Amino acid sequence: MAPRKSVAHTRKVQLEVCIGKEAQPVGQLAFVKDGNREYSVFTYSAGWLSHPARFAVSPDLALAPGYQVCKPPGKEDLRFFFALADTEPDAWGRRVISRAHAKARKNDPMLKALTELDYLCAVDDFSRIGALRLRNDAGAFLRTMAQGLPATAPLLELEQMVAASRAVECSQESLQDLRYLLGKGTSLGGMRPKCTVLDDDGTLALGKFPSVQDERSVTRGEVLALRLARRAGINAAKARVVMVKETPVAVISRFDRNVDQGRIAYLSAASLLQASRTQEHAYTEVVDAMRVACVEVKADARQLWRRLVFNHLITNVDDHLQNLGFLHVGNGLWRLAPAFDLNPFPDKDRESKTWLSEDTGPSPPSTPCLKKPTTFTWQSSRLLRYCLRFLQPWTVGALWQRVPKLA
């Protein structure tokens, strides 16, 4: 007979999930750590199930009463339902959180190892992506700073953010650097050093910093690509370069907030597809999912196609499904979010992370992605005209000549 597990091995934390600026309760999330196993359980509240604005907040959370369980089959799989997992920090934020924890552990060796819940809850509430929010049983939103201090700093503090982030990258950070970055540098996903900032007009933005590993100006390249994308008819996030002494910082407006700092629900394309992060996926699968979830399928499918061609022409090969997202427009329907994280990689082979279709594989340059326009509700003749008119002159070489001029 298997030995009974001691209760001491099982830890359960219960949180309330809310939505929007008004923090409308949506349901209860329980996080369970059972030995090495971590999983979560969610129940919608009766109030949300009968709310006029109700919708399934995550594609893997059917809008129905009762417990729904997210048990990851393997170590690489998500411990949280997709929409919540979209709000977790990624490589960069996790690095800041785990370093701060390691430093704290030196003073307090009894401190427990970090769980996935610790990462989810280390995200600053004010700048957490999308509309979902977490509240503990003391009524505090996670995470909020002590004494109600804002974790999001104005552009004026960019210099300090850049310096603290650089120290982390070089493993020379002080406890003060880490304390400073918690909340600021940990709210969004992605690998590259970044912080959330308040722009001059008080709106939320993100500041992306050069990495010590960069061999070219990646931040300028990203701003240039986002601007060119807008000129090519792509709905792309607003971006500019802000010089912090000698350092060009890409300041990019957040698209998941409206004018009154209202919060717009967000889903990555990976979540929309309920895709495992380790599997290959294709744009045709994204379009299929959009047919069910999107309110303006035709327009968004064409927009996606434009982005695909644009990515191909500027060699933006980092087009994984976390770099594509959707914003909620009401009644459980979504629209393609503005394009973000567009980066020209002039030195890389043109092999996209997301395949054109399940049978093409990463499209090589000899088969530019012009073969399947009808899937994207676009006629080939219109598509070719568009490509010739807008995109052909923008070879990657020409693009890079403009980079130093970008201020």
Ligand X SMILES: Nc1ncnc2c1ncn2[C@@H]1O[C@H](COP(=O)(O)OP(=O)(O)OP(=O)(O)O)[C@@H](O)[C@H]1O
Residues that bind ligand X in the complex, under the rule CB under 6 A: 92, 129, 188-192, 206, 237, 252-256, 318, 322-323, 340-341
> Which residue lies nearer to ligand X by CB, 304 or 383?
304
CB of 310 to ligand X, least distance (A): 16
By C-alpha distance, which of 145, 138, 137 is closest to 29? 137
CB of 88 to Mg ion, least distance (A): 13
318 backbone dihedrals φ, ψ, rounded to 5°: -90, 45
> Which residue lies nearer to ligand X by CB, 353 or 372?
353
CB of 202 to Mg ion, least distance (A): 25
Contacted entry of ligand X, Mg ion, none for residue 294, CB cut-off 5 to 8 Å set by kind: none
Contacted entry of ligand X, Mg ion, none for residue 191, CB cut-off 5 to 8 Å set by kind: ligand X
43 to 207, 222, 251: CA distances (angstroms): 36, 40, 38
Alpha-carbon gap, residue 104 to 109, rounded angstroms:
8
By C-alpha distance, which of 320, 344, 317 is closest to 398? 344
By C-alpha distance, which of 367, 285, 293 is closest to 321? 285
> Which residue lies nearer to ligand X by CB, 185 or 189?
189
Is residue 361 involved in binding Mg ion (CB under 5 A)?
Answer: no
CB of 218 to ligand X, least distance (A): 9
Alpha-carbon gap, residue 256 to 246, rounded angstroms:
30
Which residues have a Cβ under 8 Å from the Cβ of 309 and sit 6 or more positions away? 368, 369, 370, 383, 386, 387, 391
| Distance between first and last Cα of the chain | 70
> Which residue lies nearer to ligand X by CB, 92 or 126?
92
Residue 268 region by backbone torsions, left for phi larger than 0, else alpha for psi between -120 and 50, else beta: beta
> Which residue lies nearer to ligand X by CB, 32 or 339?
339
Contacted entry of ligand X, Mg ion, none for residue 252, CB cut-off 5 to 8 Å set by kind: ligand X
DSSP assignment of 359-390 equals TT-SPPTTS-S-S-GGGGT--HHHHHHHIIII
Is residue 332 involved in binding Mg ion (CB under 5 A)?
Answer: no
DSSP assignment of 267-331 equals EEHHHHTT--TTS--BHHHHHHHHHHHBSSHHHHHHHHHHHHHHHHHHT-----GGG-EEEEEET
CB of 341 to Mg ion, least distance (A): 4
Q: Which residue is nearest to ligand X (CB)?
A: 190
CB of 49 to ligand X, least distance (A): 28
Helices (H), 36-115: 46-49, 82-85, 91-107
The H or E element spanning position 251 is strand 247-253
CB of 264 to ligand X, least distance (A): 9
The residue range among 35-43, 249-257, 341-349, 350-358 that interacts with Mg ion, by the rule CB under 5 A, is 341-349
Contacted entry of Mg ion, ligand X, none for residue 340, CB cut-off 5 to 8 Å set by kind: ligand X
Three-state secondary structure call for residue 235 = coil
Is residue 323 involved in binding Mg ion (CB under 5 A)?
Answer: yes
Omega prior to 143 cis, within 30 of 0: yes
Residue of the chain from 190, 233, 362, 368 that contacts Mg ion (CB under 5 A): 190
Is residue 341 involved in binding Mg ion (CB under 5 A)?
Answer: yes
> Which residue lies nearer to ligand X by CB, 254 or 350?
254
> Which residue lies nearer to ligand X by CB, 232 or 383?
232
Contacted entry of ligand X, Mg ion, none for residue 368, CB cut-off 5 to 8 Å set by kind: none
CB of 29 to Mg ion, least distance (A): 25
> Which residue lies nearer to Mg ion by CB, 287 or 321?
321
CB 241 within 8 A of CB 330: no
> Which residue lies nearer to ligand X by CB, 43 or 127?
127
How many residues lie near Mg ion (CB under 5 A)? 3
> Which residue lies nearer to Mg ion by CB, 20 or 190?
190
> Could you write out the three-class secondary structure of 154-212?
EHHHHHHHHHHHHHHHCCCCCHHHHHHHCCCCCCCCCCCCEEEEECCCCCEEEEECCCC
Contacted entry of Mg ion, ligand X, none for residue 98, CB cut-off 5 to 8 Å set by kind: none
Within residues 99-118, the interface with Mg ion by CB under 5 A covers none
Q: Which residue is nearest to Mg ion (CB)?
A: 341
CB of 205 to Mg ion, least distance (A): 16
CB of 66 to Mg ion, least distance (A): 35
Query: What's the token pair of residue 247?
Result: 């350092």
Positions in the binding site for Mg ion (CB under 5 A) = 190, 323, 341
